Structure 1
Amino acid sequence: MHTVRDLGLLRRRYAYYWTRIGLVLLSLGGIITGFILLGNSWFQLLMAAALALVLTQVAFLSHDSAHRQIFDSAAWNDWTARVLAGGIAGMSISWWRNKHSKHHNAPNQISKDPDIGPGVLAFSPEYAESRTGFAKWFTDRQGWLFFPLLTLEGISLHVSSLQHQLRKGATRMERIEAAVVVSRLGGYVTVLFLLLPPGKAAAFLGLQLALFGVFLGASFAPNHKGMPLVPATMKVDFLRRQVLMSRNIRGGIVVDFLLGGLNYQIEHHLFPSMPRPTLRRVRPIVREYCAKHKVKYTEVGLFESYGIVIDYLNNVGLRARDPFQCPLTAAMRAPATN
Structure 2
Amino acid sequence: MRLEEKLEHTESPVRRSQPCLHDTHQANGKPRANGKAEVCEQQEANGKGDGLRKCLNLYTWQEIQRHNKETDQWLVIDRKVYNVTDWAGKHPGGRRVLNHYAGEDATDAFRAMHLHLSTVRLYLQPLLIGELSPEEPSQEKNKNPQLVEDFRELRKTLETMNMFSANLGFFFLHLAQILVLEVLAWLILRHFGSGWTVTILISFLLTVSQAQSSFLQHDIGHNSMFKKSKWNHLMHKFVMCHLKGLSADWWNYRHFQHHVKPNIYPKDPDIDVGPLFLIGDTQPVKYGKKKIKYIDYEKQHLYFYMVALPLLMPVYFNLQSMQVMYLRKYWADIAWVSSFYIRYFITFGPFYGIFGTVLLIYLVKFMESPWIAYVTQMSHIPMKISRDENHDWLSTQIVATCNIEQSFFNDWFTGHLNFQIEHHLFPTMPRHNYHKVAPLVKSLCAKHGLQYINKPILKAFGDIVRSLKKSAALWMEAYYE
TM-score computed with the length of structure 1 as normaliser = 0.86
Amino-acid identity (%) = 23
Larger mean Cα displacement after TM superposition, 123-132 or 88-97: 123-132
Amino acid at match of 2:334: A
Report the Cα offset of residue 133 of structure 1.
8.1
Q: Which residue of 1 aligns with 2:404?
A: 249
Amino acid at match of 1:304: K
* 1:175 and 2:331 correspond: yes
Question: After the TM superposition, which parts of structure 1 deviate over 6 Å for at least 4 consecutive aligned residues?
Answer: 131-134, 197-200
Question: Aligned partners of 2:165 and 2:441: how far apart in 1?
Answer: 18
Structure 1 residues 181-192: aligned runs within 5 Å: 181-185=337-341, 187-188=343-344, 192=348
* 1:15 and 2:169 correspond: yes
Aligned counterpart in structure 2 of residue 300 of structure 1, from 434, 452, 455: 455
Amino acid at match of 2:304: F
Q: Which residue of 1 aligns with 2:180?
A: 26
Aligned counterpart in structure 2 of residue 216 of structure 1, from 372, 378, 400: 372
Question: Aligned partners of 1:162 and 1:296: how far apart in 2?
Answer: 39
* 1:146 and 2:304 correspond: yes
Classify 1:202/1:10 alpha carbon distance in 2 versus 1 (closer, same or farther; 3 Å). Answer: closer
Larger Rg computed on CA atoms = 2
Report the Cα offset of residue 143 of structure 1.
1.9
Q: Which residue of 2 aligns with 1:316?
A: 471
Asked if the contact 2:312–2:369 (Cα under 8 Å) also holds between the matched residues in 1, the reply is yes
Q: Which residue of 2 aligns with 1:3?
A: 157
Report the Cα offset of residue 200 of structure 1.
6.4
Determine which structure has the larger helix proportion and give its number. 1
Report the Cα offset of residue 122 of structure 1.
2.2
Q: Which residue of 2 aligns with 1:331?
A: none
Greater relative contact order structure (CA < 8 Å, 6+ sep): 1
Report the Cα offset of residue 185 of structure 1.
2.6
Aligned counterpart in structure 2 of residue 165 of structure 1, from 325, 328, 332: 325
Report the Cα offset of residue 205 of structure 1.
3.9
* 1:269 and 2:424 correspond: yes
* 1:94 and 2:249 correspond: yes
Q: Which residue of 1 aligns with 2:193?
A: 39
SS at the partner of 1:215?
helix
SS at the partner of 2:469?
helix
SS at the partner of 1:166?
helix
Question: Aligned partners of 1:282 and 1:16: how far apart in 2?
Answer: 18
* 1:287 and 2:287 correspond: no
* 1:67 and 2:222 correspond: yes
Question: Aligned partners of 2:382 and 2:247: how far apart in 1?
Answer: 28
Aligned length: 314
Asked if the contact 1:122–1:316 (Cα under 8 Å) also holds between the matched residues in 2, the reply is yes
Aligned counterpart in structure 2 of residue 135 of structure 1, from 285, 289, 294: 294
Question: Aligned partners of 1:3 and 1:198: how far apart in 2?
Answer: 55
Asked if the contact 1:70–1:275 (Cα under 8 Å) also holds between the matched residues in 2, the reply is yes
Structure 1 residues 43-122: aligned runs within 5 Å: 43=197, 44-119=199-274, 120-122=276-278
Report the Cα offset of residue 219 of structure 1.
1.1
Determine which structure has the larger strand proportion and give its number. 2
Question: Aligned partners of 1:264 and 1:222: how far apart in 2?
Answer: 12
Classify 1:220/1:318 alpha carbon distance in 2 versus 1 (closer, same or farther; 3 Å). Answer: same
Question: Aligned partners of 1:136 and 1:166: how far apart in 2?
Answer: 30
SS at the partner of 2:386?
coil
Report the Cα offset of residue 153 of structure 1.
1.6
Asked if the contact 1:140–1:315 (Cα under 8 Å) also holds between the matched residues in 2, the reply is no
Larger mean Cα displacement after TM superposition, 272-281 or 32-41: 32-41
SS at the partner of 1:223?
coil
Asked if the contact 2:242–2:337 (Cα under 8 Å) also holds between the matched residues in 1, the reply is yes
Asked if the contact 1:90–1:184 (Cα under 8 Å) also holds between the matched residues in 2, the reply is yes
SS at the partner of 1:212?
helix
Deviations 1:147-179 (A, max 9, x none): 332111221222111111000x43xxx212112
Amino acid at match of 1:152: L
Question: Aligned partners of 2:466 and 2:344: how far apart in 1?
Answer: 38
Question: Aligned partners of 1:240 and 1:125: how far apart in 2?
Answer: 19
Amino acid at match of 1:161: S
Asked if the contact 2:203–2:364 (Cα under 8 Å) also holds between the matched residues in 1, the reply is yes
* 1:237 and 2:392 correspond: yes
Classify 1:154/1:192 alpha carbon distance in 2 versus 1 (closer, same or farther; 3 Å). Answer: farther
Report the Cα offset of residue 69 of structure 1.
0.6
Classify 1:133/1:296 alpha carbon distance in 2 versus 1 (closer, same or farther; 3 Å). Answer: closer
Asked if the contact 2:313–2:368 (Cα under 8 Å) also holds between the matched residues in 1, the reply is yes
TM-score computed with the length of structure 2 as normaliser = 0.61
Asked if the contact 2:241–2:336 (Cα under 8 Å) also holds between the matched residues in 1, the reply is yes
Classify 1:177/1:206 alpha carbon distance in 2 versus 1 (closer, same or farther; 3 Å). Answer: closer
Question: Aligned partners of 1:305 and 1:70: how far apart in 2?
Answer: 28
Question: Aligned partners of 1:116 and 1:101: how far apart in 2?
Answer: 14
